[in-house]
Amino acid sequence: MNEHDSERMAGILESQGFVPAASAEDAEMVILNTCSIRDKAEQKFYSELGRLAHLKGRGGNKVTIAVAGCIAQQEGEKLLSRTPSVDMVIGPSDIARLSAMIEKKRDLGRPVVETGGDPEYHRRLVPASRTDGLKAWVSIMYGCDNFCTYCVVPYLRGRERSRPPRDIVAEVRVLGEQGYREITLLGQNVNSYGKGLQEPCTFPELLRRVQDADGIERVRFVTSHPRDLSDALIDAIRDLTKVCESIHLPVQSGADRVLASMNRRYTSAEYRDKVQKLRKAVPDMVITTDIIVGFPGETADDFACTLRLLQEVEYDNIFAFKYSKRTHTKALGIPGHLAEEVKEERLAQVLELQKGISLRKNEHHIGSVQEVLVEGASKKGGMLTGRTRGNKSVNFPGPVHLRGSLVNVRIIAAGPNSLSGELCV
């Protein structure tokens, strides 16, 4: 989400005549697009801001420092008093006002703040400066209505708003004409796309409409809330040829008590049922998930439920994190916050368990032929890298001019994080 917001801010700046600088030292303006989903991300921002502040003023350096993203939204005006080197503070739903803010800052000669949230942002056509040329993010909605008790998103990115389907389809068509081969539809909860639209459209319908775009070969989407994963969406994944067989379906915990406390609004049995339906409809489905360990009140038994769920579902990959205290969120007030060592120990256990599962899942592909979208030269010299329809990374020998092609690759080896193969001729 943030990467794509950065593309949009770059698009606005380029439309104003700005060009990318080689480094912050050479730049006239630096935007720090921030994340506050976990404490670690926030700390990284403050240390980078300190580095930039040090740069400013040195040798007459007049760089404009802007802070965007969730920390900007969370801190607003307070950022200016805390860090006087900041010139602009811009919330995630105020991105379309960037040009006006730059002018205002020039005219007034003092810092400007925009965090009020543009109520029409989801209807605005904001340019994006994409550099990949092959794979593109396309936002389909903003905000979230779910209020999971650990999450800051609904407070910082606002309530759920869906972009009009015709704007999304038009953007995807242009991307197809520009040579893009793969799009990823983005939203905090894409499965609930469509609420409040003047032109009614559900997420499965949207998938049907975008897959008609010429030139686009693959359609992905992220993120799906398990509660909103409907039978209609499962049918769409099964039937629509360009929609890839991979889904990120965050479970967060295997314990019903913890799920209820997180306000996830599904039980582990309901979640397992959805996974079964998915696998029945699409046997090759690649499923990944998010896990939070050490949520307040998580007992050893609760944690054992999570380990059991991982063993049963056998995800292809997981993104696991220790619970992190976030301002605004209800989880702060839930009793039973765990010691850091306990969270660390649980995280290590989860990651160790998953490493073996990921390896086994990848080894299943050995001997199979996978359709791979070639992304270019691999970091391993002389090799190409690309992704299967299931979004698995594959390295194989081949000529660089294949970048952008869909090729068949026979898988000959597997590690926990990637596959190796050879081109089929």
Q: Which residues lie near ligand SF4 (CB under 6 A)?
A: 144, 146-148, 151, 153-154, 188-189, 225
- What is the nearest approach in angstroms of ligand SF4 to the Cβ of residue 138? 18
CA dist 2 and 223 (Å) reads 14
Beta bridge partners of 203: none
- Nearest approach in angstroms of CB 1 to ligand SF4 is 9
Q: Find, among 257, 115, 244, the residue nearest to 184 by Cα.
A: 244
| Shortest separation between residue 421's beta carbon and ligand SF4, angstroms | 35
Shortest separation between residue 171's beta carbon and ligand SF4, angstroms = 23
* Nearest-angstrom CA–CA distance, 65 and 86: 5
Q: Report which of 99, 252, 73, 217 is spatially closest to residue 157, judged by C-alpha positions.
A: 73
Could you give the CA distance from residue 92 to residue 96 in angstroms, rounded to a whole number? 9
Half-sphere exposure of 246 (CA within 13 A, CB side): 18
207 contacts 218 by C-beta, under 8 angstroms? no
Q: How far apart are CA 164 and CA 97, in angstroms?
A: 20
Toward ligand SF4, which CB reaches closer, 190 or 372?
190
Residue 290 C-beta: closest distance to ligand SF4, Å = 8
For ligand SF4, the closer of residues 70 and 151 by Cβ is: 151
Least distance in angstroms from the C-beta of 33 to ligand SF4: 17
Closer to ligand SF4 by CB, 224 or 317: give it: 224
Rank residues 308 and 328 by Cβ distance to ligand SF4 and give the closer one.
Answer: 328
Residue whose CB is less far from ligand SF4, 37 or 285: 37
**Tokens encoding 304:** 């054992």
Nearest residue to 139 via CA among 33, 3, 31: 3
Closer CB to ligand SF4, 225 or 274, in the complex: 225
Give the DSSP H or E segment for 341: helix 340-363
